[in-house]
Amino acid sequence: MHDRPTLRTSAFKQVDVFTAEPMRGNALAVVLDAEGMSTAAMQQVAAWTNLSETTFVLPPTQAGADYRVRIFTPQSELPFAGHPSVGTAHALLESERLQRKDTLVQECGDGLLPLRVVGRGVDRRVFVRTPRARFGQLPPEAGDAVAQALRAGPGMPPPRRVTLGPAWIVCDLGSAAAVRALTPDMAALVALRQRFDAVYFTVFGRADSGDHALVVRAFCPADGIPEDPVTGSANAAIGEYLHATGGLSAIGANYRVSQGKEVGRDGTVEVHVDTATGQVEIGGQSITCVDGTVALPLD
């Protein structure tokens, strides 16, 4: 009989982000002891959790950083993503692996990003200052192709490519009702990857009333995520888009977003946009739903 190799384990949390209620936000897996893991092992774990993102916490390599994080979807690594940044900071603070401070610095693929911590315990909210967006043009024919794949109907303004971590195709549908009613053709969205190098799509519309200004949805079927429940980087991309197009005047520079009801969630994202520069900060509450230990693959 062969001896079994010794299992490698890590402290592990599954956190619901952008909500104070379990099972209502966007789930994030956090592997807290990832030092020494290979990229292949991290990707294997992210595919196994099958959540939109899994993060791996490492010692920082840059001066001034409190910790380093690597972020994986089930199929690829991202330089930045919003709900993983907020949720990882929550997990580290809750587990007391970080000293309680009002400001933190996260090291990730997009560099050093400052985070702001407001409140304590169940009332804690974490905000991350997102990387600056890069705007790109899509070919003229892309607008009709995206609208058809989304089944958005006629009259959708031309979408813009806004790269902020992922490269989001940002689409203004006008009203919250149009966003809620959307039934995209997922296969058609996947096909746009080959035509226009488009993987991540987000749509938004303005709410008539209630405690939020916008309704947002995000679709990433080519990356194994048909609809993401609540999406930080998409909301940051929309904030930069609104600043660039003059759309903030109607809703203000500090607003709340509703996302996730179409997939059985009810997330809230708080968005702050610097009207002078367009710099965006996104954040909200988080709650831990699973707290324990995970066995890691052996390299």
Catalytic site positions? 53
Amino acid letter at 16?
A: D
DSSP state letters, 93-136: HHTT-S---SEEEEEETTEEEEEEEES-GGG-EEEEEPPPPEEE
DSSP state letters, 274-293: -TTT--EEEEEEEEEEEEEE
Lookup result for tokens 């009259």: 155
Burial string for 261-287 (b: 16+ CB within 10 Å, else e) reads eeeebbbbbbbbbeeeebbbbbbbbbb
Which residues lie closer than 8 Å to 245 by C-beta, 6 or more apart?
Answer: none
What token pair was written down for 215? Answer: 């309704």
Please tell me the distance from the alpha carbon of residue 255 to that of residue 239, in angstroms, as a whole number. 10
What token pair was written down for 257? Answer: 């977003």
- Where does the chain have alpha helices with state H? 39-49, 82-94, 140-150, 176-181, 186-196, 232-245
3-state per-residue secondary structure call for 54-77: EEEEECCCCCCCCEEEEEECCCCE
